[in-house]
Each structure stands twice: as C-alpha cells, then as structure tokens.
C-alpha cells in the first residue's frame, strides 16, 4: 500500500518515534512524505521514503494529487492543533480529498496505531479491490 507520512513541526519528533516503533510494518509498504518529515524519518529509521516538497511549499498538494488519482491508500498526518499553520488551506484541502475519495486519514498517534495494526492484519484489503475495479473501468 502507498502510505503518506506528514507531520507539523511540533509533531515531527512524535512521527519519528512512531515510525521507529512501527518500522516493521511500514517497511512492507511504499512510503511517501513531505520534505523535512521524510528526511528526518529516513535518518532515524533507515526506511525508504519518497519525499515530496515540504508541506507549505506544495508537498500537501502533491500528496493530494495522488489521492485524486487513486494512487494513495492511507495518510498518517500528525497535525498540531494548537499552532496556526500558514498553509492551513492546503491542510484542509488534503483532508477534504481524503473524505471525497474514502482514503483513511489518521491525525494522531492513537488513530495511526489502529490503522497500522489493522493494515498488518489485512483489514485494508478493500483498497486493493477498489484499485482493481477502477483500473478495469479505466481500461474500457
């Protein structure tokens, strides 16, 4: 599965620790991240991560484009709800796209843990069915 990892500045350390704790699950999937977050996770864990631009420079929108084309399966986004973000409209747009396209979105450690444990159990196989169906419809 394609999984995006995003973290606001004050949540980056949480994302690094989370990625360390669940590297055994994450390493089985294709990982994407916004710039600095991806760099920090790779440095700490050795995980192979495709890095987009940083969030404020368009990284959130690049991930949004993957959602809109059914290329992203899950978003783990550690948001900082207590600090104003200059790119909040991009964050809102990303969250909206997850709702429109039924992409699982976890915005905190608790939900992210549930997502990854469910992924490990096979609870997200429905994403593969949707992708296959859309590919068949696209080939008509």
pLDDT at 139: 61
Q: Which of 9, 60, 80, 90 is catalytic?
A: 60
| pLDDT-wise least confident of 22-31, 74-83, 87-96, 102-111 | 87-96
Residue 117 has pLDDT above 90, yes or no: yes
Tell me how far apart the alpha carbons of residues 89 and 78 are, in angstroms, rounded to a whole number.
Answer: 16
- pLDDT tens for each residue of 45-81: 999 999 999 888 899 999 999 999 989 999 999 999 8
SS3 139: coil
- pLDDT tens for each residue of 31-48: 999 999 999 999 999 999
Buried b (16+ CB within 10 A) or exposed e, 61-72: bbbbebbeebeb
pLDDT category of residue 138 using cuts at 50, 70 and 90: confident
Residue 140 has pLDDT above 80, yes or no: no
Q: Which CATH architecture has domain 2-138?
A: 3-Layer(aba) Sandwich (3.40)
Q: 60 an active-site residue?
A: yes
Mean pLDDT of the chain: 92
């Amino acid at each position: 599965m394609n999984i995006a990892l995003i973290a606001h500045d004050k949540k980056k350390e949480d994302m690094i620790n989370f990625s360390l704790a669940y590297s055994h699950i994450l390493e089985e999937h294709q990982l994407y991240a916004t710039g600095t977050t991806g760099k920090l996770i790779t440095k700490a864990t050795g995980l192979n991560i495709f890095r987009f631009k940083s969030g404020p420079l368009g990284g959130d929108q690049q991930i949004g484009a993957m959602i809109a084309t059914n290329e992203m399966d899950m978003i783990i986004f550690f948001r900082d709800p207590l600090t104003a973000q200059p790119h909040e409209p991009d964050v809102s747009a990303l969250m909206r796209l997850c709702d429109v396209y039924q992409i699982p979105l976890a915005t905190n450690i608790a939900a992210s843990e549930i997502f990854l444990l469910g992924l490990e159990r096979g609870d997200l196989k429905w994403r593969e069915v949707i992708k296959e169906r859309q590919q068949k419809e696209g080939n008509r």
